[in-house]
Every structure is written in C-alpha cells, then in structure tokens.
Amino acid sequence: MNLKKLFVLVLLVACAIAFFAFDLGRYFSLAYLKQSQDGFSQIYQQRPLLVTLVFFAVYVGVTALSLPGATILTLAAGAGFGLLWGTIVVSFASTIGATLAMLAARTVLRDTMEKRFGNKLAEVNKGIDRDGAFYLFTLRLIPAIPFFVLNLVMGMTRIGTRTFFWVSQLGMLAATVVYVYAGTQIASIDSLRSILSPKLIGAFVLLGIFPLVTKKTLDAFKRRKVYARWASVRPKTFDRNLIVIGAGSGGLVSALIGVAVKARVTLIEANKMGGDCLNFGCVPSKALIRTARLRHQILHSANYGLATASTSFSFREVMARIHAVIAEIAPHDSVERYTGLGVDVVLGYAKIVNPWTVEVALNNGGTQTLTTRSIVIAAGARPFVPPLPGLDAVGYVTSDTLWDAFAQLDEVPRRLVILGGGPIGCELAQAFARLGSDVTQIEMAPRIMLREDEEVSELARVALQADGVKVLTSHKALRCETSSDNNATKTIVVEHQGQVKRIPFDALICAVGRVARLSGYGLEELGIPTHKTVDTNEYLQTIYPNIYAAGDVAGPYQFTHVAAHQAWYAAVNALFGDFRKFKADYTVIPWATFIDPEVARVGMNEQEAKEKNIPYEVVKYDLHELDRAIADSEARGFVKVLTVPGKGRILGAMIVGTHAADLLAEYVLAMKHGLGMNKILGTIHTYPTLSEANKYAAGEWKRAHQPVRLLQWARRFHDWKRG
C-alpha cells in the first residue's frame, strides 16, 4: 500500500472513530436542531461570514466522510440562512464533499477492486465513458437513492472528476431545494419522514425517470430523422424479414438463424458460396500446411527411428489436392444446401438502395429488387495491397489469388518473397519453405507476430528459420524492379538500418493484412459511416437501426469463428430487436496461428495486460516435460496462463506446441463459464495425451499457491503421529 493510500485510509478511519467515540452524532438530530435554532440565528446575525464558512466546512467534512448528518445540516441551512442563501451554501458544500468522498473511495478501494474484478470494471468503464454523466444525473435526481452510496460506487469507476462535480451539482439541486425549504419550515417538522411524503417521493422518482424517457424519445427522434429522407419510399409491406449480403461465415450463420426461427430470408452472394474462409483462407491454407508438414516429417524421418527418406512430388498435384479439399467441403456451404434449408439464395451483386430495399445485379443477367424489414451486411474483407512502386509491373499474388495462380505451376516457386509477418505471412512462409521454396519473409516491424508476447514471436522466428525461411524484420519495402537484362530478374528493394538491399524473386505474395469491403453495395449512398470497418454500436447496428453488420466488415476481429459469433447477435437483434436486443460479447475470443509449432491463445497475454495496467500472475509449463510430447518427438513449446493475483481465475492462456489450437479449447470453456485453475486441476485428463499439459499447468499454479502455514502444521502433525 503506497503512502498516499495509507494516509487517506488512516484519516478516514480516525475521523470515523472520533465521530462515534465523542458521540458527535447527537448534534445531527432534529431535536438538537430545533433547540439550537434561536442561538444559531443570533450568532449568524453577529458574524454571518464566519458562521457561513464554518458551516460550509462542517458540511463538506460530513459529506466527504460519508457520515450521517447531511440531511440535518441541509435543514439547518434552511432554518438559519433562508431558502436562497441556504440552497447556494448546501449546493456547493454537498458537491465538494461528494467529490472528495468519490476521490477518497477511488484512492483507497479502486486498485483492489480492479484486481478482483478487472474485466467487469473495464466493461463498466466503457459504459461510463459513453453514458456515465447521463446516468449519474438521473440517479442524483432521486433522493431515495442514498447519495453517499453513489459517491462510493462512482469512485470505483474512471469517471472524470470535473464531470462528476458538475453533474452532481445539477443532479442534487432539486433535492437540495426541497430539504432547504423544509428547513425554513422547521417548526412544523416532527420527523425526517414527514419531509418526503409519498407524493413527493413519487414526484422525485418521476423526475429521475424523466431523463430516461427523454433519452428514449430522443433516440426515437434520431431514428425518425435518419429515416426522414427515405420516408416516401418506405414500403407498406415487405418481401422478406431479412436480407443477408455475403455468404461467408457471418452471412451463412445469419441466414441459418433466420430460417431456423421461421423468418423469410434471402442470402445474396456475388462470388463463391462459403466466402473467403472456404475458398481462399482457412481451408486451402490448412490443406497446404498439412501437405508441407507431411513432407517435412518424411525428410526428418530419422527423428522417428526410421531411415532417412526423400520425397519427390508434383506441385501441380499438391495444388490439385487443395482444390479437391475445397470441393469436398463446398457442399456444406452450397446453394443447394441452403435452399434446402429454406433460404432464398440469390447469386449476384447486391446494392442497398434505401434502408428497406436491395437491388441485385444477377450473375446470370438482369436485376432483382427485394424489400425487407432488416438487412445484415456480411461483405467480408479482402487482402490489402500496399502502394509499393513497381509492384503491379513485377506481378504479385495475394492470399486470395495464389490458389488459382499457383495451380498453373508445375513446380513450387524457386525464390519466393512474402510481404508480411502476421499469421497469414508466417503460415505461408513456413509451408512453402517446407515444399522447397527459397523463402524470404519481409516484415517492417521489429518482430513477426507482433500481437503476441516477445517470447512467442521469438519461438516462431526460430521455427521458421529452422525450416529455411529468411526472416527479415525491421526491413521496409521501398519498391519493386525488373532488370533490363535478358533474364528480366524481378527484385524487391528494402531498407534496413539505413542500408538498401535488393532481393531477387520469382514470385511475390502480399500478406500484409486484410481490409473490410466497404464500397460497391450502397454504404456511401445511404451515408452509413465507416472507419476501416462499418461503424456499429454494441448491438451491431449501423446508424439505421434495421441495418446490421457482422464479420470482417464489422470488426474488430478478422476470424471466421468471430464472424459466426457476431452473426447470432446480428440476426437475433435484426429479427427480434423490437422486444429485446443483445450486446455482442467479445470477452472470450480464441485465435490461433497454424505454423509448426502452433500458436494459440485466448484472453490477454502479458503484453496486453501490461498495456492495460492489469495486475496478473504467470504460470508456465514447458512441453519438453510432457510424456506424450516426448513420445511424439514434439517436445517443444509451452502452456502459459495468466491469472488474477492470488486467485485461480484465468485472465488469458497461451499455448505454443503441436495441436495448440485444439488444446486451447479447455481454457476457452473455463474462461467462458468462470472455471478457475482448481477446476482444471481437478479434472481427469487421459494419459498419455497432450491435454495433460493443461492439467500440469494448473498443477504449477497450485504449487505456487500452497497454504504454507497449513502445511507447516501438517508436518508437525505427522511428526507427532510418528512419535
């Protein structure tokens, strides 16, 4: 505990003890107020300024310490100063005292509360940032809610001191006037209860509810305003309950949910059903990684006690297998399947022409116009291509186009440059290196996989370099060139620490990230704001309450499983939002990078915890100690778990190793349902399996939190039992 916190705590405790030890509460009773009214008036007439200042200081002190007596002092102000001056004095004294009480609670308690309830308080603070002043004002209008409780509670949040002061000043004014006025009529008051009659309490409750009603009314007015220019084209009836634009993960799930609840749904897709994941991303890349891993294992067969082997293969057949895998999975996302489930699937380019109408330029010619109650935009994302001089001239592929382009090659590209050190770049770099390419990976940042902890990035770099990848970090790509000789050699020019290098290549893959598809389907015409993604609220609504967005186009995560997760919220809110809406929940989001060894995590890593100033403890279990990993010759990597200090509650988990993404599911489940390390430790894990790593990590946590004193007594007990 720092000195500032200790000083404030000691001061508060000392004042509270003094208040009760000297029975100072007897001076804050209605009877004492009536008895001393005449004497107070005489002193005030003789020395008005001094009396006012002393009264002001006492009021501030009582309020700041959250001591009983503020109500009596407010009555005393009315009795001694009159309505106008009494209201002014009490208004400022109560606000200053409330602010001091809030700051005291913040100093003494907030750090402790954040350690125990960091994630929940983070969500509360988001709400405070957005609507905190409004709700504080509303609660201040209702004197039935103890003001000192509000002071303490708001001290746990990150509401600004100035905001707290002026909102409290305004919010408490109505109740202050009532109590000060009651003080001017002190002779007729028999008890404090007589001040607030049921009718007056009801009036205050209505006063407190009034801002909420006003907010709802303003929201309705804003909705009416945003729709105003479309009022003349709003259909009286609708062809559909829901139109979904895009048949990737987010769109497919949205459509499925719609038909599952018997809504009439149209799904519009301009390109291929299944979206990026099936056709260009997750599926083909994992098929490539599997082939590359098998070849790597064959070439390293000596690690498994077998004679050293070699491989020969046709790269064209490798790419053909990838397309065969896509074709085998494609029926899961096909037009036929979704039509059979009741979804009206339309192939063509959609354009939202007004909030209820979508026009489709059909792929087979012609147009179709549909009206709908609600729309879910699930347009996905596309690879970002940097504005690199000469890039178009030398030619390049992206994570979307390489599958068709490379399928035409008889051999793997001999010299391959990959721009980007994120998950996509790392996966492709390792896979093609294992298939025989001379791979150079260029990353402008100081390390690859920048979102992960440094030790994870370093382990990934070592793994890629072990497979022959030249990992160039802190290298900035400047331009691409083609030599003028007969060979027409392609090169990329990079800069590192002031030195310029030229790297020749036969093929170049741009893998520097993906950007949301924001143009071509009507956002501009409707005036829907975008900032890298479509702007949405916590319910995934755009500025038009009947138009939603989900998946990569909505952000903040570009994962297939997050798109499906968001799709539930978007579809349910779109169809049933008139009755109840659900806020999208991102508290437990897992992700993985499928290099070898795999990198997977959920929740916070150390890097994020430090950035957010969230206290944590770390427990780590190295996989080189795991029996199954040793048996499989896969004894590399670790399990690392972040927990609340002194507690088993999990803040985040990171696994680096074979099948890390599969092993992570246990921690995802635990975090989602509030299960701590003790629960994982108490769960039977099959031997010998990789999943035991999770149990052993929990065991490491348990050893670090042994009840030392209790074990000392246990040792004495056993010593005594032995005689």
Q: Which residue has the higher pLDDT, 182 or 662?
A: 662
Confidence of residue 81 (pLDDT cuts 50, 70, 90): confident
Beta carbons within 10 angstroms of residue 416's beta carbon: 23
Confidence of residue 186 (pLDDT cuts 50, 70, 90): low
Domain shared by 490 and 549, yes or no: no
**Is 232 among the domain residues?**
no
Average pLDDT, the chain: 88
User: Which residue shows structure tokens 């999975």?
Assistant: 329
**Is 713 among the domain residues?**
no
Share of the chain above pLDDT 90, in %: 62
Domain shared by 142 and 74, yes or no: yes
**Is 720 among the domain residues?**
no
Q: Residue 156: what pLDDT? A: 80
Q: Please report, for the domain that includes residue 678, its CATH number.
A: 3.30.390.30
Least confident stretch, 126-130, 137-141, 212-216? 212-216
| Residue that terminates a domain, selected from 488, 514, 540 | 514
Residue 242, H or E segment: strand 240-245
Domain shared by 80 and 199, yes or no: yes
Q: Residue 144: what pLDDT? A: 59
**Is 90 among the domain residues?**
yes
Task: Tell me the C-alpha distance between 491 and 483, whole Å.
Answer: 8
Do 25 and 32 form a contact (C-beta atoms < 8 A)? no
Q: Which amino acid is at 52?
A: T
Task: Tell me the C-alpha distance between 67 and 65, whole Å.
Answer: 5
Tokens of residue 714, six digits: 């246990």
Average pLDDT over residues 386-405: 95
Beta carbons within 10 angstroms of residue 217's beta carbon: 10
In sequence order, which residues have a C-beta less than 8 Å from that of residue 73 and are 6 or more positions away? 28, 55, 58, 59, 62, 90
Domain shared by 112 and 205, yes or no: yes
**Is 249 among the domain residues?**
yes
Q: Residue 537: what pLDDT? A: 92
Confidence of residue 210 (pLDDT cuts 50, 70, 90): low
Q: Give me the domain span that covers residue 366.
A: 240-383+515-576
Total of domains in the chain: 4
Q: Residue 8: what pLDDT? A: 66
Does residue 213 surpass a pLDDT of 70?
A: no
Task: Tell me the C-alpha distance between 242 and 231, whole Å.
Answer: 20
Q: Identify the CA nearest to 279 among candidates 346, 331, 326, 210.
A: 326
pLDDT in tens, 550-568: 999 999 999 999 999 999 9
**Is 719 among the domain residues?**
no
Confidence of residue 170 (pLDDT cuts 50, 70, 90): confident
Domain shared by 531 and 507, yes or no: no
| Residue that terminates a domain, selected from 464, 480, 514 | 514
Give the burial class of 544: count Cβ atoms within 10 A of its Cβ; 0-12 exposed, 13-18 middle, 19 or more buried.
Answer: buried
What CA–CA distances, in Å, run from 68 to 10, 30, 186, 403, 455? 19, 13, 19, 74, 55
Coil, strand, or helix at residue 93? helix
What CA–CA distances, in Å, run from 721 to 171, 703, 710? 68, 25, 16
Q: Identify the CA nearest to 155 among candidates 124, 196, 119, 200.
A: 124
Average pLDDT over residues 118-131: 66
Do 418 and 551 form a contact (C-beta atoms < 8 A)? no
Domain shared by 547 and 604, yes or no: no
Domain shared by 376 and 410, yes or no: no
Q: Residue 373: what pLDDT? A: 96
Q: Please report, for the domain that includes residue 411, its CATH number.
A: 3.50.50.60
Domain shared by 376 and 506, yes or no: no
Q: Identify the CA nearest to 399 among candidates 319, 475, 510.
A: 510
Task: Tell me the C-alpha distance between 46 and 479, whole Å.
Answer: 86
pLDDT in tens, 277-308: 999 999 999 999 999 999 999 999 998 999 88
Coil, strand, or helix at residue 400? coil
What CA–CA distances, in Å, run from 31 to 35, 524, 674? 6, 70, 53
**Is 221 among the domain residues?**
no
Q: Are strands 638-643 and 617-622 parallel, antiparallel or unpaired?
A: antiparallel
Q: Identify the CA nearest to 56 among candidates 9, 5, 91, 100.
A: 91
| Residue that terminates a domain, selected from 490, 514, 538 | 514
Does residue 209 surpass a pLDDT of 70?
A: no
Do 692 and 685 form a contact (C-beta atoms < 8 A)? yes
Q: Which amino acid is at 99?
A: T
Average pLDDT over residues 45-65: 86
pLDDT in tens, 338-390: 999 999 999 999 999 999 999 999 999 999 999 999 999 999 999 999 999 99
Domain shared by 73 and 152, yes or no: yes
Q: Residues in the chain, how many?
A: 723
Domain shared by 354 and 412, yes or no: no
Task: Tell me the C-alpha distance between 651 and 630, whole Å.
Answer: 29
Does residue 717 surpass a pLDDT of 80?
A: yes
Q: Which amino acid is at 163?
A: T
Domain shared by 100 and 188, yes or no: yes
Domain shared by 145 and 28, yes or no: yes
Does residue 135 surpass a pLDDT of 60?
A: yes
Do 93 and 104 form a contact (C-beta atoms < 8 A)? no
Q: Which residue has the higher pLDDT, 677 or 152?
A: 677
Cα angle vertex 563, ends 557, 566, to 5°? 95
Query: What are the φ/ψ torsions at residue 395 (nearest 5 degrees)?
Result: 90, 145
Q: Which residue has the higher pLDDT, 697 or 26?
A: 697
**Is 190 among the domain residues?**
yes
